[in-house]
């Protein structure tokens, strides 16, 4: 590899010259918006920062950053004109007394956020009936993946993830029309779709959670209305498997809810006898005995609305403090060390459809 910045370009012999390897390590830790400016430093920096291999290395460093410098919370906002708003996760945990200011990303159409992966958001435009990938950090978008126009076509379940073997971003959609219901996998780049086996059991929520190369849903186990399992779809083989939930002795009155924290699958319960909200995390994907009870918020029963959980986890910091979303689309920090709930002040209106993504240079134009 050629020098990133040639020593000959410096007029002063005392100016320090850093090894290429060290420059790369530094650049891997720089914010995307700064890297986009750094492409103008010289041709070699532009070539390096534009390299897909650099984008992947930068993404891995960003995800592993314990300070969550590159983590952002995104929400589709139902206001007019339509917009998607974004927050620095680091600023949410710092909780400034003046309130957190969002970044407004105005859109020409109303989009539903299907999911995020590798810094890309998968958006769905319901009325024109298409998916597309968008990198909010670079502004780049993919071509549209059309499925049909509403109300002729309706999606009942969906999920977004990455096939690491074939290097394809894929969307699962259960598509209904007047004549049939099909479970289909759409692949970005090739604009191809494949009909796969229908869900072997019915998920309780529309959106699948992507982790460890799989999409996951909570589903009802058999005819019972109070027994559940995790239905998993492998994005490479496009086949299903089942994962058992952690054992809970106490009675649960609401369906468990699935999330992803620290790149691990997690599930939250509300238990009626104790009136506790409990969060479990699966440290090793697919390994039943790796379920670990992560935290508990006590005595929240009186605040539960029928059919909903009071809290859904979004992100967890190194010190154990967790960012939660409430049923009314408020954001809360819960510290399990002292049991305190701290409701955050957010400037402007945010929608209920929220998720975390990592800023990246990954191109959606696959």
Q: Do 243 and 297 fall within a single domain?
A: yes
User: How many other CB atoms are there within 10 angstroms of residue 302's CB atom?
Assistant: 7
Domain limit, last residue, from 20, 43, 63 = 63
Q: Do 148 and 199 fall within a single domain?
A: yes
- Report the C-alpha gap between 313 and 333 in whole angstroms: 10
Q: Do 117 and 59 fall within a single domain?
A: no
Q: What is the dihedral of CA 41, 47, 53, 55, to 10 degrees?
A: 40
Q: Do 45 and 179 fall within a single domain?
A: no
DSSP state of 264: E
Asked if residue 1 belongs to a domain, the reply is no
- Report the C-alpha gap between 66 and 54 in whole angstroms: 20
The bridge status of strand 228-234 relative to strand 103-106 is unpaired
Nearest to residue 309, comparing CAs of 354, 341, 278? 278
Q: Do 99 and 228 fall within a single domain?
A: yes
In tens digits, what is the pLDDT along the chain, a chain of 366 residues?
A: 445 554 444 444 555 677 888 888 999 999 999 999 999 988 988 999 999 999 999 999 999 888 888 999 998 875 666 778 888 899 888 866 556 767 777 676 778 899 999 999 999 988 888 999 999 999 999 999 988 776 788 889 999 999 999 999 999 999 998 889 999 999 998 888 999 999 999 898 999 999 999 999 999 886 665 688 999 999 999 999 999 999 866 565 567 899 999 999 999 887 767 777 889 999 999 999 999 999 888 766 544 444 445 788 999 999 999 999 887 778 889 998 888 888 888 876 777 788 999 999 999 987
- Report the C-alpha gap between 85 and 104 in whole angstroms: 5
Q: Do 120 and 130 fall within a single domain?
A: yes
pTM of the model: 0.88
Say whether the peptide bond before residue 81 is cis (omega within 30 degrees of 0).
Answer: yes
Give the pLDDT confidence score for residue 2 in this predicted structure.
45
Q: Do 164 and 178 fall within a single domain?
A: yes
Asked if residue 363 belongs to a domain, the reply is no
Backbone angles phi, psi at 37, to 5 degrees: -75, -35
Domain limit, last residue, from 45, 63, 81 = 63
Q: Do 50 and 78 fall within a single domain?
A: no
Q: Do 217 and 72 fall within a single domain?
A: yes
Kindly calculate the radius of gyration of the chain based on its CA atoms and give it in whole angstroms: 22
Q: Do 39 and 134 fall within a single domain?
A: no
Site of tokens 């239905």? 231
- Report the C-alpha gap between 37 and 89 in whole angstroms: 23
**218-247 confidence digits (pLDDT tens):** 998 866 656 889 999 999 999 999 999 998
Domain span including residue 328: 64-358
User: Structurally, how many domains does the chain consist of?
Assistant: 2
Site of tokens 């995020």? 116
Nearest to residue 207, comparing CAs of 142, 120, 112? 112
**209 CA to centre of own chain:** 8
Residues 6+ apart with CB under 8 A from 273: 250, 251
Are 128 and 109 contacting, i.e. CB atoms less than 8 angstroms apart? Answer: yes
Residues 6+ apart with CB under 8 A from 104: 83, 85, 348
Site of tokens 């086949």? 239
CATH number at residue 150: 2.120.10.80
Q: Do 52 and 87 fall within a single domain?
A: no
């Amino acid at each position: 590899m050629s020098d990133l910045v040639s020593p000959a370009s410096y007029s002063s012999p005392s100016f320090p010259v850093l090894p290429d390897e060290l420059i790369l390590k530094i650049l891997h830790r720089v914010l995307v918006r700064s890297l986009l400016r750094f492409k103008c430093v010289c041709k070699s920096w532009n070539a390096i920062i534009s390299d897909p291999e650099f984008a992947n290395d930068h993404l891995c460093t960003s995800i592993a950053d314990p300070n969550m410098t590159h983590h952002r919370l995104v929400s589709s906002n139902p206001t007019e004109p339509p917009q998607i708003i974004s927050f620095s996760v680091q600023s949410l945990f710092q909780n400034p007394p003046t309130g957190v200011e969002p970044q407004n990303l105005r859109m020409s159409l109303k989009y539903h956020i299907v999911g995020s992966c590798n810094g890309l958001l998968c958006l769905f435009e319901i009325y024109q009936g298409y998916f597309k990938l968008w990198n909010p950090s670079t502004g780049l978008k993919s071509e549209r993946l059309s499925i049909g126009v509403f109300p002729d076509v309706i999606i009942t379940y969906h999920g977004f993830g990455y096939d690491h073997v074939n290097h394809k971003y894929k969307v699962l959609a259960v598509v209904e029309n007047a004549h049939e219901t099909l479970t289909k996998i759409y692949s970005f780049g090739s604009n191809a779709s494949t009909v796969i086996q229908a869900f072997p059991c019915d998920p309780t929520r529309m959106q699948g959670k992507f982790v460890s190369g799989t999409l996951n849903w909570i589903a009802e186990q058999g005819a019972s209305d109070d027994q559940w399992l995790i239905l998993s779809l492998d994005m490479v083989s496009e086949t299903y498997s089942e994962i058992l939930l952690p054992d809970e002795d106490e009675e649960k009155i609401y369906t468990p809810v699935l999330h992803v924290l620290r790149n691990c699958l997690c599930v939250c319960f509300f238990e009626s006898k104790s009136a506790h909200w409990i969060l479990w995390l699966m440290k090793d994907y697919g390994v039943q005995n790796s379920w670990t009870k992560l935290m508990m918020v006590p005595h929240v029963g009186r605040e539960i609305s029928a059919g909903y959980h009071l809290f859904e986890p979004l992100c967890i910091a190194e010190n154990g403090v967790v960012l939660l979303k409430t049923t009314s689309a408020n954001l809360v920090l819960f510290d399990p060390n002292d049991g305190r709930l701290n409701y955050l002040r957010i400037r402007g209106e945010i929608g209920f459809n929220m998720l975390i993504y990592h800023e990246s240079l990954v191109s959606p134009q696959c």
